[in-house]
Amino acid sequence: MKLFRRLIESRFWVLSVKEISQILRNKQLIFLLVFPPTIQLLIFGLALNPDVQHLKLGVTDYSNTPMSRELISALTANEVFEVKSVTLDEHALGEQVRRGQITAGLVIPPNFNRLLKSDQPAEVQVLIDAVDANTAGIANGYMSQIINQFGRQFMPNVVPPIQTQATILYNPGLVSSWFIVPGVIGLVLNLGSSLVSTAAVVREKDTGTLEQLLMTPAAAWEIILAKVVPLFVLLLGEVILALSVATFIFQVPFRGNIFLYLFFAGLYACVGIGIGFLLATVCRTQQQAILTSFFINLPLIQLSGAIAPVESMPKFFQIFSLANPLRHFVTISRGVLLKGNGLDVLYPEALALFAFAIVLLTISTNKFRTQLS
Amino acid sequence: MKRILAQCSKELAQFRRDRLTLALAFILPVMTLFIFGFAIRLEAKNITLIVQDFDHSNLSQSYVERLYATNQFLPVQWSGTDPVRDGIERGLAKAAVIISPEFSRDVKAGKTSVVQVLIDGTDVNNARVIKNSIQAFTNAFIQDQNLLQSPSKILPRIRLWFNPGRQESLYIVPGVFGVILAIYPSLLAALAMSREKEQGTILQIYASSVSAAELLLGKGLAYFIVAIGQTLFVMGLGCAIWQLGFVGDPTPLLIGSLAFLAASVMFGLFIGVRASNRSVAVQGVATVGFLLSLLLSGFIYPLNNIPFPLSLITNLVPARYYIELTRDAFVRGTGWSGVWSAPLLLALLAFLLFSIARKIISRMQLSG
């Protein structure tokens, strides 16, 4: 009770209340913390979709027998391919692939049925549009697998000697948003924390109220702490909002501990606040701060693995990205949500974030303090 | 016309004097080019893989050797008995292959022997790639070892067009051109327009005899010229680094570029007219521009994958048409017959943005 009384009467509390009421009155800030994250999560989650399904297939079936039609239906059976055009001219088919109207073209030779009946191997031609290297690779894989499997029906020895049985862990249905959304939560938290904290400091600078704060008997650390704590609480609210979008709209599983997740999110919020304060102390005006944050956030986000996996980057960028706090948070976010990882697995990332938070907060508060005094 | 040119030369002079903006106009695009061009890759190389071979026969050993010889996988040391799932859980490996003790015995007895594959599904795209490549490898292994009495009856002859080596840079880099030229020219234009508003100098323009169209065209022309400079700079650099060249008729790209840059600058002016100050303008361009041209343009994943209500918006994204053009010019090479509609639609979008911005300004002029 006594402690509570002392807290209420402390300068820190009064300053915090001032910050909170300032934040709450700033409609733009609240808007910034609610609207963009939700929209970003929705668009990222829906639009970044690596699914390879309904690829447009063009067919030139010179054979036109039940057998050749069966091959076509084998290709379209699991919805990987979808017949978009049927031509009787190989060149027309080739032209359609050239123009990108179809992703794959299949040419079945006139003697297809005859060769199979007489127990000879039949060749079918497949053209794949490989402008999109990734999709082409997957289409190629499916194509040869399905055709091989189909061809096996005609063999005396039906049993394949070796078969692979793949089990996909954590995301057996390969739902693409489960990969993107946990990463985008990190992205949203990063943008939110750095933007809001920059704004909180630069606003005082712009309007000249920073000097007034200095005149009060409050010590520098009290001013800083009173700025950090309300932002921190606000950002945790943002994380909870983002998590609800993830679990309720995208049905992303939450396999780990929610308190552990919030702990990590809090740690990252400190990192983000550190970045924001640093920007605010370095930049003189709000415009400069925003342009510089653009300059910093772009590589931070792109090299975090939130959009394209870190493992696919060239070696140099993979090593470089270790210096990116967001990369560690994205790993944590996926680990806790999808894999159900605990601290025993995620401690290296946790330590890294801890180090980033301490270094950034120390540097920025020191700079801030020297500017204050 | 004279007033447009005067407005344009005033704007260019201001642009030249502002060192920070000048640097931003060229450094930011190059930085973006490097990061996107080098770091956005979808397929993982050197996938970490644990192999647990309980069979230890010649057949199983050659299976493992050949699997690693595909150069797609990186071996991870793992003790023979620990459950491999732990390795995937801790992120040490992306996949694991488990060969049962009966592997070679089953194969010799003419039964099917099953190789278990565990794949980390967090990265959806690569999980699919890993699954496919292990399956394809196994099929190839069966053929190589002559484990089947007769080869498959149907042989697919697959040819990959345009990009037989499946280099991802051929797909990504032309797209990066589109994203960069969608964002940075409009950023500069938005800054210029909102500066007039922030500093109040726009009132002088409202009061002067300059019409809304003249104002937009004058400012637009200035940043259009800057944007052409940016385009030449970024494309030249990008083509040199990733060794891209025109594979077909370059005229659709040339004409399309002019239309696209006009659309991009007009988008910036439109945001600038709407925004009350520069910070809002920058944020507007950054969020809207980035979200649209990065996510809804088909830059990373095919456009077809975007679900219905969202897919309607893609039709309004200029970068979408421009990326079609760059990919055609640098990779596909069909020329006018394949992409004739893109420059037209780009010009239409540019005109649409121009007329909206013009309407907003002339409304201000009347009331002020």
Is the same domain home to B59 and B206?
no
CA B124, B129, B133: angle at the middle one, nearest 5? 150
- Nearest chain B residue (CA) to A294: B286
Q: What is the pLDDT of residues B101-112, one digit of tens each?
A: 988 888 888 888
Give the confidence band of A245 by pLDDT, cuts at 50, 70, 90.
Answer: very high
Question: Inter-chain contact A136–B166, Cβ cutoff 8 Å?
Answer: yes
Q: Determine which of A117-121, B4-8, B309-313 has the lowest per-residue pLDDT on average.
A: A117-121
Is the same domain home to B293 and B240?
yes
Q: What is the pLDDT of residues A338-353, one digit of tens each?
A: 998 989 889 999 999 9
User: Could you tell me which residue, B87 or B204, shows the higher pLDDT?
Assistant: B87
Q: Is residue B191 part of a domain?
A: yes
CA distance A165 to A163: 6
Question: Inter-chain contact B163–A136, Cβ cutoff 8 Å?
Answer: yes
Question: Inter-chain contact A43–B291, Cβ cutoff 8 Å?
Answer: yes
Long-range contacts of B300-309 (CB under 8 A, 24+ apart): B300/A48, B300/A307, B300/A308, B300/B40, B300/B42, B300/B175, B301/A48, B301/A49, B301/A50, B302/A132, B302/A135, B304/A54, B305/A49, B305/A50, B305/A51, B305/A53, B306/A46, B306/A47, B306/A49, B307/A46, B307/A49
Give the confidence band of B258 by pLDDT, cuts at 50, 70, 90.
Answer: very high
Q: What is the pLDDT of residues A56-107, one digit of tens each?
A: 999 999 988 888 899 999 999 888 899 988 888 889 998 888 888 899 999 9
Q: Which of B142, B277, B300 sits opposite A162 (nearest CB)?
A: B142
- B160 is written with which tokens? 């990959």
Which CATH class for the A55-152 domain? alpha beta
Is the same domain home to B29 and B138?
no
Is the same domain home to B33 and B175?
yes
Give me the number of domains chain B comprises: 2
Question: Inter-chain contact A302–B282, Cβ cutoff 8 Å?
Answer: no
Domain positions in chain A are: 10-48+174-372, 55-152
State the average pLDDT for chain B: 87
Q: With 60 as the cut, is the pLDDT of residue B366 above it?
A: no
Highest mean pLDDT: which of B45-59, B63-77, B230-244?
A: B230-244
Contacts with A167 from chain B: Cβ below 8 Å: 116-119
Is the same domain home to B35 and B52?
no
- Nearest chain B residue (CA) to A188: B287
User: Could you tell me which residue, A323 or B45, shows the higher pLDDT?
Assistant: A323
Q: Which of A97, A164, A203 to mutate to test the interface with B (most CBs of B within 10 A)?
A: A164
Is the same domain home to B36 and B51?
no
Share of chain A above pLDDT 90, in %: 29
pLDDT score, position A370: 78
Q: How far is A269 from chain B (nearest CA, A)?
A: 21
Q: How far is A285 from chain B (nearest CA, A)?
A: 10
Q: How far is B127 from chain A (nearest CA, A)?
A: 7
Give the confidence band of A160 by pLDDT, cuts at 50, 70, 90.
Answer: confident
Give the confidence band of B151 by pLDDT, cuts at 50, 70, 90.
Answer: low
Q: Are A254 and A228 in contact (CB under 8 A)?
A: no
Give the confidence band of B230 by pLDDT, cuts at 50, 70, 90.
Answer: very high
CA B72, B76, B82: angle at the middle one, nearest 5? 135
Q: Is residue B163 part of a domain?
A: no
User: Could you tell me which residue, A329 or B78, shows the higher pLDDT?
Assistant: A329
Is the same domain home to B178 and B297?
yes
- Nearest chain A residue (CA) to B118: A167
Q: With 80 as the cut, is the pLDDT of residue A156 above it?
A: no
Q: Are A291 and B22 in contact (CB under 8 A)?
A: no
Of B109, B144, B179, which one is at a domain's C-terminal end? B144
Is the same domain home to B131 and B219?
no
Q: Are A149 and A143 in contact (CB under 8 A)?
A: no
Question: Inter-chain contact A169–B133, Cβ cutoff 8 Å?
Answer: no
Give the confidence band of B295 by pLDDT, cuts at 50, 70, 90.
Answer: confident
Is the same domain home to B28 and B59?
no
Q: How far is A268 from chain B (nearest CA, A)?
A: 21
Q: How far is B348 from chain A (nearest CA, A)?
A: 23
Q: With 50 as the cut, is the pLDDT of residue B368 above it?
A: no
Q: What is the pLDDT of residues A298-340, one digit of tens each?
A: 889 889 988 888 888 888 888 999 999 999 999 999 999 999 8
User: Could you tell me which residue, B259 or B284, shows the higher pLDDT?
Assistant: B259
**Is the minimum CB–CB distance between A99 and chain B shorter than 8 Å?**
yes
Contacts with A49 from chain B: Cβ below 8 Å: 301, 305-307
Stretch B331-352: mean pLDDT: 91
Q: Which of B128, B152, B302 sits opposite A132 (nearest CB)?
A: B302
CA distance A198 to A185: 20
Contacts with A338 from chain B: Cβ below 8 Å: 121-122
Q: Which strands, in side-by-side order, build the sheet including A104-108?
A: A81-86, A55-61, A104-108, A122-129, B154-161
**Is the minimum CB–CB distance between A67 and chain B shorter than 8 Å?**
no
Q: Which of A52, A137, A170 sits opposite B121 (nearest CB)?
A: A170
Query: Domain of B243?
Result: 2-40+168-367
Q: Is residue B153 part of a domain?
A: no
Question: Inter-chain contact A338–B122, Cβ cutoff 8 Å?
Answer: yes
pLDDT score, position B44: 82
- Nearest chain A residue (CA) to B87: A345
Question: Inter-chain contact B122–A171, Cβ cutoff 8 Å?
Answer: yes
pLDDT score, position A355: 95
Is the same domain home to B257 and B337?
yes
Is the same domain home to B222 and B345?
yes
Q: Is residue B150 part of a domain?
A: no
Is the same domain home to B26 and B100?
no
Q: Is residue B108 part of a domain?
A: yes
Share of chain B above pLDDT 90, in %: 37
**Is the minimum CB–CB distance between A34 and chain B shorter than 8 Å?**
no
Contacts with A126 from chain B: Cβ below 8 Å: 156-159
Question: Inter-chain contact B334–A160, Cβ cutoff 8 Å?
Answer: no
Within chain B, where are the H helices? 2-17, 19-39, 58-69, 84-89, 103-108, 124-144, 168-198, 202-207, 212-242, 251-274, 278-284, 290, 308-314, 318-327, 336-339, 341-367
Stretch B177-191: mean pLDDT: 92
pLDDT score, position B323: 94
Highest mean pLDDT: which of B155-169, B267-281, B338-352?
A: B338-352
Contacts with B116 from chain A: Cβ below 8 Å: 164-165, 167
pLDDT score, position B39: 87
Question: Inter-chain contact B114–A161, Cβ cutoff 8 Å?
Answer: no
- Nearest chain A residue (CA) to B125: A50
CATH number for position B114: 3.40.1710.10
